[in-house]
Chains A and B, each alone.
Chain A
């Protein structure tokens, strides 16, 4: 027999494991760690939603649903998209319910990419974009944003990255890890470029519910963009439902149906009880979302101002629940900072370089943690910063 390793696909073998995993391993054995390293709400799924899932089990809804998801859920999603973001989608042909936004991303890319097609990824970016593009046979083209611009992509940067092979731009606003939210005008500028170069835009709107200062604009709601937008969203972040793994895609019919082909062969359908939970979330969970959002906003204000007072300069993130402070004042690299902070003060943050080269010099801190823990984390970070003045 050959060496086991030699059976692996070259693409997978060359794929780098997520840098987040190393920090998970490092922190896993430690006690008393305050974690600012989590990309998920600290709230538990609202009880009414959990109740609905329990009821669905009691009533025996334990079989498959339609591949694209329960029709009732798709109708509710269509209604939600219309009322919240002003975009109309057909529940019959333009919405696919997926196993989290992660699967939505995967099948979106697999449905549109041919070998060698280029995909523009605006970084710092969510850790999955680049590997998923590669796995789908595409070529990721990373465009770095600057902290001076609040980690916003400039139209000229975008245009410079476009080649004849470019097929799609991946956008995430509000962004993981920077919390940066693009305004309607900024999205408009990107829309014009997408039109000029005839590109698709994969708009990851998983944090749309968590926009704190300005009204949220969905990319699909801009001008004629609906026809060239693959909109990805889900219930994980806004509705505090990460473990349910329930997401959805809204896209023009031809693209949705192509994704559905992959989805039906690879996944059949999303878990039924999670779909019932999601249905309840849309029907009655909006006030819970509002409460959670208020709480995140207050914590953001507290946390970001406190970081700035410590000399860890941080722009005010417009959405999501991440602060992305600069740690350059300490003279440490982001990996060194995160590792030392964890070992010396037991505060877990994620090094910025994991999200792309432009994240170097920063760390991602999630403020989806109780105020008491945030206050304690600030105390510990303050102590750490004093112990580590720049040499």
Chain B
């Protein structure tokens, strides 16, 4: 489907800034006053408990915005004193990197990359990630299809199957 630039802009704002539900409705649901709710939200943000209001968007449906996601298993040589933290930091500061996790098992860091094309991801891995001093090896897995992301099932038929009136 083709979306207008404005629509895409709204999606991006939602993705990065705010949830759709008005503060007034949050207030009612939580049985608080609007002022209390606002203060609570501010406080949670200040405490960095509430990190970001996020929206889950299925970009694969939007022409020209499909993008490519890859999960990269990275083996690294930890450094004395800073362990894995230093290399993890060097990796997560790249804007292409969506997530970095320290893992147990066959490799050390799991790095999730988002790029506009497979080429872009490949270039990032070969030029930026693999060339870092501590990085010993990388194995790149491209995501072919997202079924469920952050607890949200994509392409779920959520029609209400109930009859309109029942006892």
Query: Judging by beta carbons under 8 Å apart, are A18 and B167 in contact?
Result: yes
Q: Is B63 an interface residue, CB under 8 A from the partner?
A: no
B166 on interface, CB distance cutoff 8 Å = yes
Asked if A302 meets B160 with Cβ closer than 8 Å, knowing A23-B165, A24-B165, the reply is no
For A350, the chain B residues whose CB sits under 8 A away are 165
Per the CB 8 Å criterion, the residue count for chain A at the interface is: 28
Task: Kindly state the separation between the CA atoms of A259 and B160 in the bound complex, as whole angstroms.
Answer: 36
CB proximity of B60 to chain A, nearest CB, Å? 23
Q: Are B165 and A35 in contact (CB under 8 A)?
A: yes
Convert A1-33 into 0s and 1s, putting 1 for each residue whose CB lies closer than 8 angstroms to a CB of B. 000000000000000001010011001100001
How many A-B pairs with Cβ below 8 Å? 58
In the complex the two chains form, is A24's CB within 8 Å of B164's CB?
A: yes
Q: A302-B29, A305-B28 are in contact. Are A20 and B167 (CB under 8 A)?
A: yes
The answer, yes or no, to whether A192 is at the interface (CB within 8 Å) is: no
- B residues less than 8 Å from A128 (CB atoms): 167
Q: How far is the CB of A359 from chain B (nearest CB, A)?
A: 14
B162-A298 in contact (CB<8A):
no
Residues of B within 8 A of A39 (CB): 166-167
Question: Are the C-beta atoms of A42 and B160 separated by less than 8 Å?
Answer: yes
A82 and B164 CA atoms in complex are apart in Å by 36
State whether B162 touches A35 (Cβ < 8 A). yes
- Complex Cα distance, B165 from A33, in Å, reads 11
The answer for the CA separation of A33 and B29 in the assembled complex, in Å, is: 24
* B residues 62-101 in Cβ contact with A at 8 Å: none
Chain B 10-21 interface 0/1 with A at a Cβ cutoff of 8 Å (1 = within): 000000000001
Q: Choose one: B28, B30, B162, B165; the contact of A306 (CB below 8 Å).
A: B28
Please state if B165 and A38 are interface contacts (CB–CB under 8 Å).
Answer: yes
Q: Is the CB of B166 within 8 A of A38?
A: yes
Complex Cα spacing A27 to B160, Å: 15
Q: Mark B36-50, 1 if CB is under 8 A from A, else 0.
A: 000000000000000
Q: Say whether A38 contacts B163, CB under 8 Å.
A: yes
User: In the complex the two chains form, what is the Cα distance from A375 to B22 in whole Å?
Assistant: 10
Contact A33 B162 (CB under 8 A): no
Inside 8 A of A37's CB, which chain B residues have their CB? 164-166
Asked if A299 is at the interface of the complex by the 8 Å CB criterion, the answer is yes
Cα distance A28–B29 when bound, in Å? 31
Q: A299-B29, A305-B28 are in contact. Are A348 and B166 (CB under 8 A)?
A: no
Enumerate B120-167 residues with CB–CB distance to A below 8 Å: 160, 162-167
B167 near A126: Cβ-Cβ < 8 Å? yes
Residue of B nearest to A373 (CB): B160
Chain B interface residues (CB < 8 Å from chain A): 21, 25, 28-31, 160, 162-167
What are 25 A-to-B residue pairs whose CB atoms are below 8 Å?
A20-B165, A20-B167, A23-B164, A23-B165, A24-B163, A24-B164, A27-B164, A27-B165, A28-B163, A33-B164, A35-B164, A37-B164, A37-B165, A38-B162, A39-B167, A126-B167, A128-B167, A176-B167, A298-B29, A298-B30, A301-B30, A302-B25, A305-B28, A369-B160, A371-B25
